[in-house]
A = this chain, B = another copy of it.
Amino acid sequence: MTRTTRVDEALPLNTVLAGDCIEVMNGLPAGSVDLIFADPPYNLQLKNQLHRPDNSRVDAVDDAWDQFSSFEAYDAFTRAWLAAAKRLLKPGGAIWVIGSYHNVFRLGAELQNQGYWILNDVVWRKSNPMPNFRGKRFTNAHETLIWASVGEGAKYTFNYEALKALNEGIQMRSDWVIPICNGHERLKDDQGDKAHPTQKPEALLHRVLVGTTNPGDVVLDPFFGTGTTGAVAKMLGRDFIGIEREEAYRKVAEKRLAKVRRFDREALTVSAGKRQEPRVPFGQLVERGLLSPGEMLQSPRGKIAKIRADGTLVSENVKGSIHQVGAALEGAPSCNGWTYWSFKREGKSVPIDVLRQQIRSEMHD
Protein backbone atom coordinates (compact mmCIF):
# COMPACT_ATOMS: atom_id res chain seq x y z
CA MET A 1 0.00 0.00 0.00
CA THR A 2 1.38 3.34 -1.02
CA ARG A 3 1.28 6.23 1.31
CA THR A 4 1.61 9.93 0.56
CA THR A 5 3.87 11.66 2.97
CA ARG A 6 2.19 14.85 4.11
CA VAL A 7 4.45 17.84 4.30
CA ASP A 8 3.46 18.54 7.86
CA GLU A 9 4.82 15.22 9.03
CA ALA A 10 8.31 16.35 8.21
CA LEU A 11 7.94 19.61 10.16
CA PRO A 12 9.67 19.93 13.54
CA LEU A 13 6.68 21.61 15.15
CA ASN A 14 6.88 23.37 18.49
CA THR A 15 10.64 23.07 18.79
CA VAL A 16 13.55 25.46 18.74
CA LEU A 17 16.04 24.62 16.01
CA ALA A 18 19.69 25.49 16.42
CA GLY A 19 21.77 27.09 13.69
CA ASP A 20 21.90 29.79 11.07
CA CYS A 21 18.37 30.62 10.00
CA ILE A 22 19.13 30.60 6.27
CA GLU A 23 20.60 27.09 6.35
CA VAL A 24 17.90 25.77 8.62
CA MET A 25 15.10 27.27 6.53
CA ASN A 26 16.61 25.78 3.37
CA GLY A 27 16.44 22.37 5.04
CA LEU A 28 12.71 22.58 5.70
CA PRO A 29 10.07 21.55 3.15
CA ALA A 30 8.85 24.25 0.77
CA GLY A 31 5.33 25.63 1.12
CA SER A 32 4.80 24.39 4.64
CA VAL A 33 4.41 27.52 6.76
CA ASP A 34 1.40 29.81 7.20
CA LEU A 35 3.08 32.79 8.79
CA ILE A 36 6.61 34.01 9.37
CA PHE A 37 7.35 36.59 12.05
CA ALA A 38 10.88 37.96 11.78
CA ASP A 39 12.73 40.36 14.06
CA PRO A 40 16.10 40.49 12.30
CA PRO A 41 19.18 42.39 13.54
CA TYR A 42 18.72 46.16 13.15
CA ASN A 43 22.31 47.06 12.28
CA LEU A 44 22.24 49.94 14.78
CA GLN A 45 25.75 51.20 14.01
CA LEU A 46 26.38 52.57 17.51
CA LYS A 47 29.81 54.03 18.00
CA ASN A 48 30.14 55.85 21.30
CA GLN A 49 28.87 55.32 24.78
CA LEU A 50 25.80 57.21 25.87
CA HIS A 51 25.06 58.45 29.37
CA ARG A 52 21.86 59.65 30.89
CA PRO A 53 21.77 63.14 32.41
CA ASP A 54 22.35 61.51 35.80
CA ASN A 55 25.58 60.07 34.37
CA SER A 56 24.40 56.45 34.42
CA ARG A 57 25.43 54.48 31.39
CA VAL A 58 22.93 53.30 28.77
CA ASP A 59 23.18 49.57 28.18
CA ALA A 60 23.44 49.61 24.39
CA VAL A 61 22.81 46.83 21.91
CA ASP A 62 26.43 46.09 21.08
CA ASP A 63 26.12 42.35 20.44
CA ALA A 64 28.16 40.84 17.63
CA TRP A 65 25.02 39.62 15.88
CA ASP A 66 23.93 43.19 15.26
CA GLN A 67 27.17 44.23 13.54
CA PHE A 68 27.46 44.45 9.76
CA SER A 69 30.37 45.90 7.85
CA SER A 70 28.25 47.90 5.39
CA PHE A 71 24.80 48.39 3.93
CA GLU A 72 25.84 46.01 1.15
CA ALA A 73 26.59 43.29 3.67
CA TYR A 74 23.31 43.90 5.44
CA ASP A 75 21.41 43.85 2.14
CA ALA A 76 23.03 40.55 1.11
CA PHE A 77 22.01 39.02 4.42
CA THR A 78 18.47 40.37 4.06
CA ARG A 79 18.19 39.09 0.51
CA ALA A 80 19.25 35.60 1.54
CA TRP A 81 16.95 35.10 4.49
CA LEU A 82 13.92 36.69 2.81
CA ALA A 83 14.39 34.35 -0.17
CA ALA A 84 14.64 31.32 2.10
CA ALA A 85 11.53 32.50 3.94
CA LYS A 86 9.52 32.92 0.75
CA ARG A 87 10.23 29.35 -0.27
CA LEU A 88 8.77 28.10 2.99
CA LEU A 89 5.49 29.99 2.79
CA LYS A 90 2.28 28.37 1.61
CA PRO A 91 0.50 30.11 -1.30
CA GLY A 92 -1.83 31.81 1.20
CA GLY A 93 0.94 32.56 3.67
CA ALA A 94 2.26 35.90 4.87
CA ILE A 95 5.22 37.48 6.59
CA TRP A 96 5.72 40.10 9.27
CA VAL A 97 9.05 41.86 9.71
CA ILE A 98 9.89 44.47 12.34
CA GLY A 99 12.59 47.10 12.32
CA SER A 100 13.62 50.68 13.08
CA TYR A 101 14.77 53.42 10.73
CA HIS A 102 18.21 51.86 10.74
CA ASN A 103 17.10 48.85 8.76
CA VAL A 104 13.41 48.91 7.96
CA PHE A 105 13.74 50.76 4.66
CA ARG A 106 16.14 48.14 3.41
CA LEU A 107 13.81 45.38 4.61
CA GLY A 108 10.82 46.91 2.89
CA ALA A 109 12.61 47.56 -0.37
CA GLU A 110 13.95 44.01 -0.50
CA LEU A 111 10.51 42.57 0.26
CA GLN A 112 9.20 44.44 -2.76
CA ASN A 113 12.14 43.43 -4.90
CA GLN A 114 11.43 39.78 -4.17
CA GLY A 115 7.81 40.10 -5.18
CA TYR A 116 6.29 40.04 -1.72
CA TRP A 117 3.16 42.19 -1.73
CA ILE A 118 3.01 44.68 1.13
CA LEU A 119 -0.42 44.72 2.76
CA ASN A 120 0.23 47.32 5.46
CA ASP A 121 2.99 48.91 7.36
CA VAL A 122 2.09 49.01 11.02
CA VAL A 123 3.54 51.33 13.61
CA TRP A 124 4.17 50.07 17.11
CA ARG A 125 3.84 53.25 19.17
CA LYS A 126 5.62 52.67 22.45
CA SER A 127 3.79 54.14 25.39
CA ASN A 128 7.02 54.26 27.39
CA PRO A 129 10.03 54.62 25.11
CA MET A 130 13.51 55.57 26.21
CA PRO A 131 13.88 59.36 25.91
CA ASN A 132 16.46 61.17 23.82
CA PHE A 133 18.95 62.03 26.52
CA ARG A 134 20.99 64.66 24.72
CA GLY A 135 18.07 66.58 23.24
CA LYS A 136 19.39 66.24 19.72
CA ARG A 137 16.56 64.38 18.03
CA PHE A 138 12.96 63.34 18.48
CA THR A 139 12.30 60.63 21.05
CA ASN A 140 12.51 57.39 19.14
CA ALA A 141 9.07 56.31 20.20
CA HIS A 142 8.07 53.72 17.63
CA GLU A 143 9.14 50.76 15.54
CA THR A 144 7.73 49.72 12.20
CA LEU A 145 6.26 46.35 11.20
CA ILE A 146 5.65 45.36 7.60
CA TRP A 147 2.98 42.82 6.75
CA ALA A 148 3.19 41.23 3.31
CA SER A 149 1.68 38.36 1.35
CA VAL A 150 3.69 36.18 -1.01
CA GLY A 151 2.68 38.18 -4.08
CA GLU A 152 0.22 40.50 -5.73
CA GLY A 153 -3.23 38.94 -5.69
CA ALA A 154 -2.22 36.17 -3.28
CA LYS A 155 -4.65 35.14 -0.61
CA TYR A 156 -3.91 35.87 3.01
CA THR A 157 -5.53 35.51 6.41
CA PHE A 158 -7.07 38.59 8.02
CA ASN A 159 -9.43 38.20 10.94
CA TYR A 160 -11.18 41.50 10.62
CA GLU A 161 -13.86 40.92 13.23
CA ALA A 162 -11.46 39.55 15.82
CA LEU A 163 -9.27 42.62 15.50
CA LYS A 164 -12.26 44.91 15.64
CA ALA A 165 -13.31 43.21 18.85
CA LEU A 166 -9.80 43.67 20.26
CA ASN A 167 -10.18 47.36 19.48
CA GLU A 168 -13.47 47.88 21.34
CA GLY A 169 -15.60 47.60 18.25
CA ILE A 170 -13.64 50.01 16.08
CA GLN A 171 -11.77 48.93 12.96
CA MET A 172 -8.14 48.22 13.83
CA ARG A 173 -5.78 50.89 12.63
CA SER A 174 -2.21 50.72 11.36
CA ASP A 175 -0.84 52.27 14.56
CA TRP A 176 -0.77 50.17 17.71
CA VAL A 177 -0.06 51.59 21.16
CA ILE A 178 1.68 48.94 23.22
CA PRO A 179 4.14 49.31 26.13
CA ILE A 180 7.67 48.03 25.78
CA CYS A 181 8.49 44.71 27.39
CA ASN A 182 9.60 45.14 30.99
CA GLY A 183 8.45 44.22 34.46
CA HIS A 184 7.65 40.58 35.18
CA GLU A 185 7.36 39.74 31.47
CA ARG A 186 10.97 40.67 30.83
CA LEU A 187 13.15 37.56 31.08
CA LYS A 188 16.28 37.72 33.24
CA ASP A 189 19.39 35.57 33.27
CA ASP A 190 21.00 34.03 36.35
CA GLN A 191 22.71 37.31 37.19
CA GLY A 192 19.43 39.18 37.07
CA ASP A 193 20.38 40.99 33.85
CA LYS A 194 18.05 41.02 30.88
CA ALA A 195 18.33 37.72 29.05
CA HIS A 196 17.98 39.32 25.63
CA PRO A 197 18.55 42.97 24.70
CA THR A 198 15.50 43.31 22.48
CA GLN A 199 12.73 41.10 23.84
CA LYS A 200 9.41 41.99 22.21
CA PRO A 201 6.18 42.35 24.21
CA GLU A 202 3.74 39.46 24.03
CA ALA A 203 0.92 41.93 23.37
CA LEU A 204 2.50 42.75 20.01
CA LEU A 205 2.63 39.10 18.94
CA HIS A 206 -0.83 38.53 20.30
CA ARG A 207 -2.28 41.08 17.93
CA VAL A 208 -0.26 39.77 15.00
CA LEU A 209 -1.27 36.15 15.53
CA VAL A 210 -4.91 36.78 16.38
CA GLY A 211 -5.22 39.04 13.37
CA THR A 212 -3.38 37.13 10.68
CA THR A 213 -3.40 33.40 11.59
CA ASN A 214 -5.96 30.78 12.52
CA PRO A 215 -5.75 28.12 15.25
CA GLY A 216 -3.63 25.21 14.03
CA ASP A 217 -1.56 27.37 11.67
CA VAL A 218 2.21 26.95 11.54
CA VAL A 219 4.12 30.08 12.59
CA LEU A 220 7.87 30.26 11.99
CA ASP A 221 10.27 32.73 13.61
CA PRO A 222 13.78 32.67 12.09
CA PHE A 223 15.20 35.03 14.76
CA PHE A 224 13.57 33.36 17.72
CA GLY A 225 15.56 34.97 20.53
CA THR A 226 13.91 34.18 23.83
CA GLY A 227 10.82 32.88 22.09
CA THR A 228 8.06 35.47 22.38
CA THR A 229 6.59 34.31 19.08
CA GLY A 230 6.55 30.70 20.26
CA ALA A 231 5.09 31.54 23.64
CA VAL A 232 2.18 33.52 22.20
CA ALA A 233 1.64 30.95 19.43
CA LYS A 234 1.37 28.22 22.02
CA MET A 235 -1.07 30.22 24.14
CA LEU A 236 -3.23 30.84 21.10
CA GLY A 237 -3.22 27.27 19.83
CA ARG A 238 -0.93 27.84 16.86
CA ASP A 239 2.07 25.61 16.11
CA PHE A 240 5.45 27.27 16.00
CA ILE A 241 8.94 26.62 14.67
CA GLY A 242 11.75 28.66 16.18
CA ILE A 243 15.23 29.07 14.77
CA GLU A 244 17.95 30.57 16.95
CA ARG A 245 21.70 30.61 16.55
CA GLU A 246 22.71 31.52 20.12
CA GLU A 247 22.58 28.69 22.61
CA ALA A 248 21.98 31.02 25.55
CA TYR A 249 18.80 32.39 23.98
CA ARG A 250 17.58 28.90 23.02
CA LYS A 251 17.91 27.72 26.61
CA VAL A 252 15.93 30.66 27.96
CA ALA A 253 13.29 30.15 25.29
CA GLU A 254 12.87 26.46 26.02
CA LYS A 255 12.52 27.05 29.73
CA ARG A 256 9.96 29.77 29.01
CA LEU A 257 7.97 27.66 26.56
CA ALA A 258 7.74 24.75 28.96
CA LYS A 259 5.82 26.96 31.36
CA VAL A 260 3.38 28.35 28.81
CA ARG A 261 -0.08 26.85 28.81
CA ARG A 262 -2.43 27.12 25.91
CA PHE A 263 -5.10 29.79 26.34
CA ASP A 264 -3.24 31.29 29.23
CA ARG A 265 -4.11 34.86 28.56
CA GLU A 266 -2.96 36.28 31.83
CA ALA A 267 -0.10 38.19 30.28
CA LEU A 268 -2.19 39.40 27.40
CA THR A 269 -4.94 41.18 29.24
CA VAL A 270 -2.43 43.58 30.70
CA SER A 271 -2.22 45.81 27.68
CA ALA A 272 -5.92 46.62 27.68
CA GLY A 273 -7.67 49.13 29.87
CA LYS A 274 -6.48 52.49 31.08
CA ARG A 275 -8.34 55.05 29.06
CA GLN A 276 -8.01 58.58 30.21
CA GLU A 277 -8.57 61.92 28.57
CA PRO A 278 -5.70 62.47 26.16
CA ARG A 279 -3.35 65.29 27.01
CA VAL A 280 -3.54 68.12 24.49
CA PRO A 281 -0.53 70.42 24.37
CA PHE A 282 -1.46 74.07 23.87
CA GLY A 283 1.01 74.16 20.99
CA GLN A 284 -1.34 71.96 18.98
CA LEU A 285 -3.90 74.75 18.85
CA VAL A 286 -1.24 76.91 17.22
CA GLU A 287 -0.01 74.25 14.82
CA ARG A 288 -3.53 73.52 13.70
CA GLY A 289 -4.35 77.17 13.14
CA LEU A 290 -7.05 77.37 15.81
CA LEU A 291 -4.97 80.19 17.24
CA SER A 292 -2.28 82.13 15.40
CA PRO A 293 1.18 83.23 16.47
CA GLY A 294 0.93 86.92 17.28
CA GLU A 295 -2.66 86.62 18.52
CA MET A 296 -3.46 87.92 22.00
CA LEU A 297 -4.95 86.04 24.94
CA GLN A 298 -6.73 87.68 27.84
CA SER A 299 -6.78 86.83 31.52
CA PRO A 300 -9.89 87.12 33.72
CA ARG A 301 -8.54 90.39 35.09
CA GLY A 302 -7.77 91.87 31.71
CA LYS A 303 -4.05 91.13 31.37
CA ILE A 304 -2.91 90.15 27.91
CA ALA A 305 -0.26 87.88 26.46
CA LYS A 306 0.95 87.21 22.95
CA ILE A 307 1.09 83.72 21.45
CA ARG A 308 4.39 82.61 19.87
CA ALA A 309 4.96 80.05 17.14
CA ASP A 310 6.08 77.36 19.58
CA GLY A 311 2.96 77.62 21.70
CA THR A 312 4.52 79.68 24.48
CA LEU A 313 3.25 83.08 25.64
CA VAL A 314 4.96 86.44 26.21
CA SER A 315 3.60 89.02 28.61
CA GLU A 316 5.31 91.81 30.55
CA ASN A 317 8.75 90.21 30.25
CA VAL A 318 7.42 86.81 31.29
CA LYS A 319 7.81 83.96 28.83
CA GLY A 320 6.65 80.39 29.09
CA SER A 321 3.72 78.02 28.87
CA ILE A 322 0.12 79.13 29.33
CA HIS A 323 0.35 77.81 32.89
CA GLN A 324 3.67 79.47 33.73
CA VAL A 325 2.72 82.90 32.43
CA GLY A 326 -0.67 82.72 34.13
CA ALA A 327 0.96 81.84 37.43
CA ALA A 328 3.53 84.61 37.08
CA LEU A 329 0.92 87.27 36.34
CA GLU A 330 -1.16 86.23 39.33
CA GLY A 331 1.82 85.78 41.61
CA ALA A 332 0.48 82.31 42.24
CA PRO A 333 2.50 79.11 42.63
CA SER A 334 0.52 77.46 39.85
CA CYS A 335 -2.23 78.18 37.37
CA ASN A 336 -4.40 76.15 35.01
CA GLY A 337 -3.82 78.03 31.78
CA TRP A 338 -6.66 76.21 30.04
CA THR A 339 -9.28 77.86 32.22
CA TYR A 340 -7.32 81.07 32.83
CA TRP A 341 -6.89 82.38 29.27
CA SER A 342 -9.48 83.48 26.72
CA PHE A 343 -9.35 84.70 23.15
CA LYS A 344 -11.64 86.94 21.09
CA ARG A 345 -13.92 85.65 18.35
CA GLU A 346 -16.51 87.91 16.79
CA GLY A 347 -16.28 90.30 19.67
CA LYS A 348 -16.84 87.64 22.27
CA SER A 349 -14.39 86.27 24.78
CA VAL A 350 -14.00 82.49 24.50
CA PRO A 351 -12.00 80.31 26.93
CA ILE A 352 -9.20 78.41 25.21
CA ASP A 353 -10.44 75.22 26.85
CA VAL A 354 -13.18 75.19 24.22
CA LEU A 355 -10.51 74.57 21.59
CA ARG A 356 -9.00 71.75 23.64
CA GLN A 357 -12.40 70.05 23.75
CA GLN A 358 -12.66 70.44 20.00
CA ILE A 359 -9.33 68.65 19.49
CA ARG A 360 -10.27 65.90 21.91
CA SER A 361 -13.51 65.21 20.10
CA GLU A 362 -11.57 64.86 16.84
CA MET A 363 -9.21 62.39 18.48
CA HIS A 364 -12.04 60.07 19.39
CA ASP A 365 -12.97 59.55 15.74
- Chain A interfacial residues counted at CB < 8 A: 110
Residue on B nearest A322 in the bound complex, by CB: B168
Copies in the complex: 2
Contact B123 A123 (CB under 8 A): yes
Nearest residue (CB) in B for A118 is B101
Bound-complex Cα distance A108 to B71 (A): 12
Distance A206 CA – B29 CA, assembled complex (angstroms): 53
Given A122-B138, A266-B308, A203:B289 Cβ within 8 A: yes
Q: Which of B67, B171, B271, B365 meets A135, CB within 8 Å?
A: B171
Residues on the B chain within 8 Å of A292, using CB: 263, 267
A113 contacts chain B at the CB level, 8 A cutoff: yes
B293 touches A263 (CB 8 A): yes
> Does A142 have its Cβ within 8 Å of any Cβ on chain B?
yes
Interface pair B311/A281, CB less than 8 Å apart: no
State A287–B167 Cα separation when bound (angstroms): 11
Is the pair A321, B165 in contact by a Cβ cutoff of 8 Å?
yes
Q: A122-157 vs B: 1/0 string, CB under 8 Å?
A: 110101110110011111111010110000100000
The answer to the question of A169 belonging to the interface, with a C-beta cut-off of 8 Å to chain B, is yes
If A55-B334, A128-B365, A263-B293 are given as contacts, then 16 extra A-B residue pairs at C-beta distance below 8 Å, sorted by A number, are: A104-B105, A105-B146, A109-B109, A123-B125, A129-B173, A135-B273, A138-B171, A138-B173, A141-B174, A166-B310, A168-B283, A203-B284, A206-B286, A267-B292, A268-B309, A270-B308
Q: Would you list the 9 A-B pairs with minimal beta carbon distance, nearest first?
A: A105-B108, A166-B283, A267-B293, A267-B294, A168-B281, A162-B310, A141-B173, A101-B121, A263-B293
